[in-house]
Structure 1
């Protein structure tokens, strides 16, 4: 067993664990990293690894939010259990658009879109989108501050994401996380489906699944915290479904797991799980105090750098 290949797998796990949850495109970063650090595996295994490594990341969501996701236990009463089942219904509904389009087009996208050029373009375009949307939200908040009106769901920076109480628009609100949907219980079925439609955009590598759904949530009235949390939950069926599909295709194309392949996949998933625990906690704290503009700037800079690299090389 080659220790160098395991170290490479661990590096991919670190990148996956960080970028899966930040709105900067995990698949895009994995494709870009592959340009410089290449696993010594077959193309069939690599295409499967690129997706299945996400299972480690999604297990971190299940661990961190187990109370929100399990309808039973944790002393939940009948109303809380019903609320949890409703949440799962909205999660499933939000996954339907991406599944309906992504499954039949999977092979086409893998063949034509999984390259550095598409990734770079998507990084720039959606980086600009983040900056534009957050600037629009800031103008709304500033306008309300000036008029003395209250914004629905506005809360001071640092407030807990579950706190639903509105806040009067004052100067202290300028860094707040606001929106008409400030808790998951307030998220309607229609809004969940709308966010799911935005998730379709993430089928283009470089877009970012979390980025597209967070943008959708913000445009549809969610606070940044609710948009981020619902994005985490949407990932559960999406990633399990995508991983299952890739594994089926891997074996259908004659792929087999040797000791080396199992070790590479195991290391990648394990590292992605551990890093994701840290990344998710950090992001939930970040969005309660800051907007998404820094991620937009990062995406634009990285996209331009990638384009310059491949033009000059």
Structure 2
């Protein structure tokens, strides 16, 4: 992996992690377009640079993390379902991460859902994510399990889950940002542990690539979060739904017609 490829992937991660368009799906497509082999380090890189995007949430919402212990307890409760399923089906999920077709199909499916979600859940009652109950936090966490399928989008599943629990679009999005912290931190540490457990080593060059990736992802994610909240509050999900559908269909057509995604 070159520094240019690392920067491109970090930009993709920063732009898409908190948008309902599937950052994992975009990372899979990005690596395929650049012709990167799904080596152990490439897989580690695509997960580990999420630490930079986690830091962006901490920087933008740092005051929210000093309110009460209940806030942390709710995040832990919401993180439980996907954490358990992720550990149990880790090998299956890893194999799906190499399938651009799976990503494309789920982009389309998720996109269709996003076209209608604003109409389905148009009577919110909770404008502050701090006000949700533990039961609501757990239900949102159950929705997050859908994101274990590449191309679904963790952000989309948890935001929609929040809206089913009467949260406003903004409150649901913010809770989704907060919930990303334990999930992404856990995923990064597990991936790092498995990387070394399998006998892999990491060079100084690869450490530098990880550092650059996290820095770029952090900067881009800050911009993406601020922009996303504005768009979501004013216009809802339709633009993201159409984007997913168009992108997914383009990839499906390319793959089914025998074309390779490798363009770089």
Coarse TM-score class (shorter-chain normalised): over 0.9
Secondary structure (helix, strand or coil) at the match of 1:130 reads helix
Partners of 1:260 and 1:38 in 2: CA distance = 20
Q: 1:59 aligns with which of 47, 55, 60?
A: 55
Q: Which residue of 2 aligns with 1:169?
A: none
Report the more deviating stretch, 212-221 or 242-251: 212-221
Partners of 2:138 and 2:125 in 1: CA distance = 17
**TM-score with structure 1 setting the length:** 0.79
Do the aligned residues in 1 keep the contact of 2:129 with 2:167 (CA within 8 Å)? no
Partners of 2:113 and 2:166 in 1: CA distance = 16
Q: Which residue of 1 aligns with 2:93?
A: 109
Q: Which residue of 1 aligns with 2:32?
A: 35
Q: Which residue of 2 aligns with 1:163?
A: none
Secondary structure (helix, strand or coil) at the match of 2:256 reads helix
Q: Which residue of 2 aligns with 1:166?
A: none
Q: Which residue of 2 aligns with 1:291?
A: 236
**TM-score with structure 2 setting the length:** 0.94
Shift of 1:42: 7.1
Shift of 1:13: 0.6
Do the aligned residues in 2 keep the contact of 1:225 with 1:288 (CA within 8 Å)? yes
**Residue 17 (structure 1) aligned with residue 1 (structure 2):** no
Partners of 2:175 and 2:96 in 1: CA distance = 30
Do the aligned residues in 2 keep the contact of 1:127 with 1:298 (CA within 8 Å)? yes
Do the aligned residues in 1 keep the contact of 2:75 with 2:179 (CA within 8 Å)? yes
Do the aligned residues in 2 keep the contact of 1:114 with 1:205 (CA within 8 Å)? no
Q: Which residue of 1 aligns with 2:154?
A: 209
Q: Which residue of 1 aligns with 2:79?
A: 95
Give ranges in structure 1 of 5+ residues lacking alignment: 72-80, 141-177
Q: Which residue of 2 aligns with 1:239?
A: 184
Do the aligned residues in 2 keep the contact of 1:123 with 1:302 (CA within 8 Å)? yes
Do the aligned residues in 1 keep the contact of 2:38 with 2:98 (CA within 8 Å)? no
Secondary structure (helix, strand or coil) at the match of 1:288 reads helix
Secondary structure (helix, strand or coil) at the match of 1:35 reads helix
String of CA shifts for 1:203-228, please: whole Å, max 9, x gaps: 00000000110111112211000000
Give ranges in structure 2 of 5+ residues lacking alignment: 260-264
String of CA shifts for 1:97-149, please: whole Å, max 9, x gaps: 00011112111211245311110111011111111222334xx5xxxxxxxxx
Structure 1 stretches of 4+ with a deviation exceeding 3 A read none
Alignment of 1:93-172 (within 5 A): 93-137=77-121
Which has the larger Rg?
1
Alignment size in residue pairs: 258
Q: Which residue of 1 aligns with 2:197?
A: 252
Q: 1:221 aligns with which of 162, 166, 176?
A: 166
**Residue 193 (structure 1) aligned with residue 138 (structure 2):** yes
Do the aligned residues in 1 keep the contact of 2:54 with 2:184 (CA within 8 Å)? yes
Do the aligned residues in 1 keep the contact of 2:104 with 2:247 (CA within 8 Å)? yes
